[in-house]
Structure 1
Amino acid sequence: MYRGALLAIGLCTSLPAAAQGADDVARLTRLVEQQQARIARLEARLAMIEGTPPPAVAAVPLEQALPSDARPSPPLRTAAQAPQRPRSPAPLGQSLPSDAHPPSLDARLARIEQAQKEGVHVDWSKGTPEFTSADGRFSFRPRGRILVDLATTTGSAIPARNMTATTARSLRLGFEGSIGPHLSYLLEGDFADNDVAIKSAYLAWTTRFMGQQAEFALGNRLNDRGLDGSSGTISVPFLERNFVGAGIIPVRGFFGLGAAARIYGDGWHVGVQVSGDDINNPGTQGDGLTIGARAHWNPVKTADWLVHLGLWGFHEEIAADATRPTRSIAVGGFFNDNLRILPGSFADARSGDGYGVELGTFHKSLWAYGEYGARRIENRAGASTDQSAWAVQAGWFLTGETPPYLTRGGVWSRPKVLRPFTSGGSGAIELATRYEELDYCDNPTAGRGTALTLGVNWYLNNFVRLQLNAIDWTVANPTQRGGATDHGQTLIGRAQVAF
């Protein structure tokens, strides 16, 4: 009886120990299975990033994971082996990977991070992809614009001016980029007015000069001349630049092939440009020579107020083959060639001098500015003719955006739309008005004209704009119908995509 009692006591004490051992085995089994599942998921994610099939991962036998005193008698089955990756010959000098010793997770992550450092970053914020190397030393971006107009003119006493038409104001395509921290480039071709021409085509070197940022450029570049004249068509508040920017201009036009230098400070800049004729000039005669300069200053620059002052001028030696020293200027939109201020004739033009002044102010969502410009042309016989133009204009962003004026260079840009229409918002809505006058009539064969414009701009996002301009114009050209003054109205709508 004594021995039986001891045996019963021993059995009772061993049962809980056996039960506890079985619970430990089950818990460790679940832990190992969870670890294997986690490793399998990590391997699959790495394989997706690397673009390769996941390596074979075998389940670790439980008897290797459990302590020897807790090892069960029958071993657990291993997981199914994943198919082997097909091998291909490696380049000479590189060892083949070993299936028995696959790269560690740390090694594979390090390889992915290195690949990302050597990769290319892509930014779509400007409407087209801008590719930039990871170190920022190289960039490339296609750029262009599509400007399509629909316009109608009524009220003119000259029937040919009363017309309705569509036109491609500008179809431009090009690219820009940078090489290293200093060198940048730009090339653009444009179809406009039934003609194809090269526009911007230059190299620029940006560096520090006298403690300020400086830019030196070689090639065909938009000139620095007035607030509107120094800004692109896609950026000015109206469909076309004002009469000062369009009419008080050297023979070579908006672009000239040559060299330019600009220094930018905090709220000011000074630029000079020396150039020959436009890059599209036929090579039958020697070029003219134009030397131009412009400076702007922002004497007031606060969170709510900004004041712009500008001064510019140029001197030109006109090439002998220049038959049109003065441009005819569109009054009721670029589409209507019958409605222009005529430049008249001025034979054997030898030189010209022009200058202009600018004054503008910006307050929150409001802006207003005025420009005045004048030019004198002399011919080889000693005769001269004077030209002048002025414009005042103002605008208001109803949706709260600030005017897209850049203190760096004193030029127009494009607004940063607060609530893009393409993302479910209202877009940016701007109201603008302008009155301008151009006077060529110091030349008896040339004309003069005025225009009052009311405009509405709807920016769907930062690079898409719809415009509507209503223009009340007056034109007097002495060589047309006895010099009678003509008056009418033009309504123009434009769809613009600029990227």
Structure 2
Amino acid sequence: MIHARKAALGAAVAAALAGVSLPALADSKTEAQLRRMIELQAQQIEQQKTQLSAMNQRLSALEHQAAPDASASPAPDPAQVQVAAAVADTRQDDDLAILQAQVAQMATKGTGGDGNVNWRKGGPEFKSADGTFTFHPRGRVLMDFSSTHGSGFDARNVTGTDLASGRLGAEGTYGDVGYKIEADFAGNAVTLKDIYASYETRIGGLPTEFYVGNKLKDRSIDGATGNTTTPFMERNAVASVGGMQSGYFGLGLTTKVYGDNWHASLAVTGDDVGNDSSANDTIAYLARAHWNPVKGSAGFLHVGGWYWYEDLGGDVTSINKTSQVALGWNGEVRVSASSIANPTDDHAWGAELGGVWRSGWAFAETTVRTINSSSEASREQKASSYSAGWLLTGEKPGFSARSGLWSTTKVLNPVTEGGWGAFELLARYDDYDYTDTARGGEGDAWTVGVNWYLNNWSRLMLNVVHWSTNNKVGSYQGQDSGNTVGLRAQVAF
């Protein structure tokens, strides 16, 4: 019986150990076969547990029968002593616990059990045992301090604090289908941002993504990047002036295709979520592409371009573009384009050039937006931006060669692990030109900054902006200039 018990225990342990090796077979088995093997292993383990339980019961009965009678105190039977020793030895080894440990190990590798939890982008990602389902909570807190001085208009010299963004949401996948939903709570108001379903596949051998819902539009480098990864506290002039009347986000269909050193996107969208429902949507058509003609381990060259066209909805009766140039909180420092009445449609194009080399980066963007009207001549609005930066601590710039957008900077020595984090110096020049309109203004801004990345998902930012404006309408007409200092504390996961 003892030999039979040990053989059963050995078979159970071998079955559990065999289950651990399942990940190694993933490359040679189909997903369906792998799932079937996991189910069979689970059944075998349950059978072994049942057999072990039965054996333990029988051995416990033998042990009870072999217990000495205190009154009689007969001489111990050598056979019963051997049985008791086998029972003690078996319980000390606790083979069932070993089996349970093997099952737990399988679960942590995603090959069985109840799934696992990984930490990604500063937050937990929950994954099912077979990897089909994932769920990742998302959130961000961006807290700003801003102070402006030197303006010839006292009303522009303001100091204050602001919650630039407080966002909560989630993203996840169900096989090849993904989803994302985010709500922002800045300005004591709730606004919906990315809310979409996605599908990943391959067309002509190329990775392809489809998005249905409300999504940040793929337009310019800064315009298509979330403000948690842009290197400056505010997006550049091209993102502002070249923006659509329908907004940064649009509810519709977006398709992205990726090659080895390029990407292209197409989108058809309506108004942003929550816009006026009493008139037809503004329908926007958007295309963007980028190419890396040079790409290596040390860096790459980026060339990109984009174009969009809007058929304006009936609720758009005039367009009066104004752009903030003294960071986001100070809404008094703006360049005014003057109002354009009875617009019918508008379109814009943009060009991108730049690259990354080791720990440095430099990019230039330009755009021209044309607005057509039924009551006056077409008007052009122009902007350009030039920026550069260097990571002093040796990190690679957080820019994705795959999508042509700013992404997370990977910190080599995070503060949370006893390091110094990452330090980045940067500078930018922005130019705003609305002078094609009779009463349109112009302005520019020079920005220098320092970023301290504590880890991959948190940073402290300092921006100093020297700005100038020349407006022909509004409360601040004529030449004016000043300086704005901004600080930001950011956590995003």
* Aligned position for 1:201: 195
Q: Hey, what's the Cα distance between the residues in 2 that align with 1:363 and 1:389?
A: 26
Report % sequence identity: 41
Deviation at 1:445, TM superposition (A): 3.0
Q: Hey, what's the Cα distance between the residues in 1 that align with 2:159 and 2:419?
A: 33
What amino acid sits opposite 2:324 in the alignment? A
Equivalent residue of 2:243, what SS? coil
Change (3 A) 1:466 1:105: closer
* Aligned position for 1:186: 180
What amino acid sits opposite 2:134 in the alignment? S
| TM alignment of 1:444-483, pairs within 5 A | 444-480=438-474, 483=477
Q: Hey, what's the Cα distance between the residues in 2 that align with 1:255 and 1:162?
A: 32
Task: Confirm whether residue 399 of structure 1 aligns to residue 393 of structure 2.
Answer: yes
Correspondent of 1:236 among 230, 234, 245:
230
Q: Hey, what's the Cα distance between the residues in 2 that align with 1:434 and 1:236?
A: 12
Change (3 A) 1:341 1:194: farther
Task: Confirm whether residue 335 of structure 1 aligns to residue 329 of structure 2.
Answer: yes
Task: Confirm whether residue 308 of structure 1 aligns to residue 302 of structure 2.
Answer: yes
- Higher mean C-alpha deviation, range 471-480 or range 294-303: 471-480
* Aligned position for 2:437: 443
- The C-alpha deviation readout for 1:48-72, integer Å capped at 9, x for no partner, is xx9xxx98996997xx9xxxxx976
* Aligned position for 2:216: 222
* Aligned position for 2:265: 271
Q: Hey, what's the Cα distance between the residues in 1 that align with 2:447 and 2:155?
A: 22
What amino acid sits opposite 2:469 in the alignment? V
Please tell me whether the aligned partners of residues 215 and 263 of structure 1 are also in contact (alpha carbons under 8 angstroms): yes
- The C-alpha deviation readout for 1:392-427, integer Å capped at 9, x for no partner, is 000000000001111221110011100001110000
Correspondent of 2:154 among 142, 148, 159:
159
Task: Confirm whether residue 484 of structure 1 aligns to residue 487 of structure 2.
Answer: no
- The C-alpha deviation readout for 1:155-184, integer Å capped at 9, x for no partner, is 00010110110001111111101011x110
Please tell me whether the aligned partners of residues 393 and 435 of structure 1 are also in contact (alpha carbons under 8 angstroms): yes
- The C-alpha deviation readout for 1:342-376, integer Å capped at 9, x for no partner, is 23211111110100000002110010010000011
Deviation at 1:482, TM superposition (A): 7.3
* Aligned position for 1:357: 351
Please tell me whether the aligned partners of residues 252 and 267 of structure 2 are also in contact (alpha carbons under 8 angstroms): yes
Q: Hey, what's the Cα distance between the residues in 2 that align with 1:192 and 1:243?
A: 22
Q: Hey, what's the Cα distance between the residues in 2 that align with 1:358 and 1:487?
A: 29
Change (3 A) 1:322 1:58: same
Q: Hey, what's the Cα distance between the residues in 2 that align with 1:103 and 1:427?
A: 47
Equivalent residue of 1:245, what SS? helix
Change (3 A) 1:432 1:112: closer
| TM alignment of 1:33-52, pairs within 5 A | none
* Aligned position for 1:12: none
Deviation at 1:279, TM superposition (A): 1.1
Deviation at 1:446, TM superposition (A): 2.8
Task: Confirm whether residue 175 of structure 1 aligns to residue 170 of structure 2.
Answer: yes
* Aligned position for 1:139: 134
* Aligned position for 1:8: none
5+ long unaligned stretches in structure 2: 1-5, 7-12, 14-48, 67-75, 89-93
What amino acid sits opposite 1:203 in the alignment? A
Q: Hey, what's the Cα distance between the residues in 2 that align with 1:361 and 1:425?
A: 28
Deviation at 1:441, TM superposition (A): 2.1
What amino acid sits opposite 2:165 in the alignment? S
Change (3 A) 1:381 1:324: closer
Equivalent residue of 2:181, what SS? strand
Task: Confirm whether residue 249 of structure 1 aligns to residue 281 of structure 2.
Answer: no
* Aligned position for 1:211: 205
Deviation at 1:106, TM superposition (A): 7.6
Deviation at 1:114, TM superposition (A): 6.9
Equivalent residue of 2:264, what SS? strand
Change (3 A) 1:114 1:483: closer
Deviation at 1:112, TM superposition (A): 5.2
Q: RMSD between aligned alpha carbons?
A: 3.1
Task: Confirm whether residue 118 of structure 1 aligns to residue 113 of structure 2.
Answer: yes
Please tell me whether the aligned partners of residues 251 and 324 of structure 1 are also in contact (alpha carbons under 8 angstroms): no
Q: Hey, what's the Cα distance between the residues in 2 that align with 1:165 and 1:216?
A: 42
* Aligned position for 2:145: 150
Q: Hey, what's the Cα distance between the residues in 2 that align with 1:327 and 1:185?
A: 33
Change (3 A) 1:342 1:72: same
Q: Hey, what's the Cα distance between the residues in 2 that align with 1:108 and 1:169?
A: 49
- Higher mean C-alpha deviation, range 382-391 or range 236-245: 382-391
* Aligned position for 1:424: 418
Deviation at 1:435, TM superposition (A): 0.5
Change (3 A) 1:176 1:105: closer
Q: Hey, what's the Cα distance between the residues in 1 that align with 2:415 and 2:215?
A: 33
What amino acid sits opposite 2:228 in the alignment? I
Q: Hey, what's the Cα distance between the residues in 1 that align with 2:167 and 2:459?
A: 16
- The C-alpha deviation readout for 1:255-314, integer Å capped at 9, x for no partner, is 111111111111101101101111120211110111010000001001113100001011
- The C-alpha deviation readout for 1:88-132, integer Å capped at 9, x for no partner, is xxxxxxxxxxxxxx9967865676567661312211131111111
Change (3 A) 1:423 1:276: same
Task: Confirm whether residue 381 of structure 1 aligns to residue 358 of structure 2.
Answer: no
Please tell me whether the aligned partners of residues 419 and 426 of structure 1 are also in contact (alpha carbons under 8 angstroms): yes
Deviation at 1:483, TM superposition (A): 2.9
Aligned length: 425
Q: Hey, what's the Cα distance between the residues in 1 that align with 2:345 and 2:457?
A: 40
- The C-alpha deviation readout for 1:64-86, integer Å capped at 9, x for no partner, is 9xxxxx9769969969x99xxxx
What amino acid sits opposite 1:184 in the alignment? G
Deviation at 1:248, TM superposition (A): 0.9
Equivalent residue of 1:129, what SS? strand
* Aligned position for 2:365: 371
Correspondent of 2:340 among 336, 341, 346:
346
5+ long unaligned stretches in structure 1: 1-34, 36-41, 43-49, 65-69, 83-101
- The C-alpha deviation readout for 1:231-272, integer Å capped at 9, x for no partner, is 111111100110001221110111111111111111101101
Change (3 A) 1:185 1:294: same
- The C-alpha deviation readout for 1:466-495, integer Å capped at 9, x for no partner, is 000000000111114573111000000000
TM-score if structure 2 supplies the norm length? Answer: 0.80
- Higher mean C-alpha deviation, range 468-477 or range 320-329: 320-329
Please tell me whether the aligned partners of residues 59 and 78 of structure 1 are also in contact (alpha carbons under 8 angstroms): no
Deviation at 1:444, TM superposition (A): 2.4
Q: Hey, what's the Cα distance between the residues in 1 that align with 2:375 and 2:223?
A: 31
Change (3 A) 1:139 1:156: same
Equivalent residue of 1:401, what SS? coil
Larger radius of gyration: 1
Q: Hey, what's the Cα distance between the residues in 2 that align with 1:379 and 1:154?
A: 39
- Higher mean C-alpha deviation, range 476-485 or range 383-392: 476-485
- The C-alpha deviation readout for 1:319-354, integer Å capped at 9, x for no partner, is 121245353211111101111112321111111010
Q: Hey, what's the Cα distance between the residues in 1 that align with 2:128 and 2:275?
A: 37
Change (3 A) 1:156 1:442: same
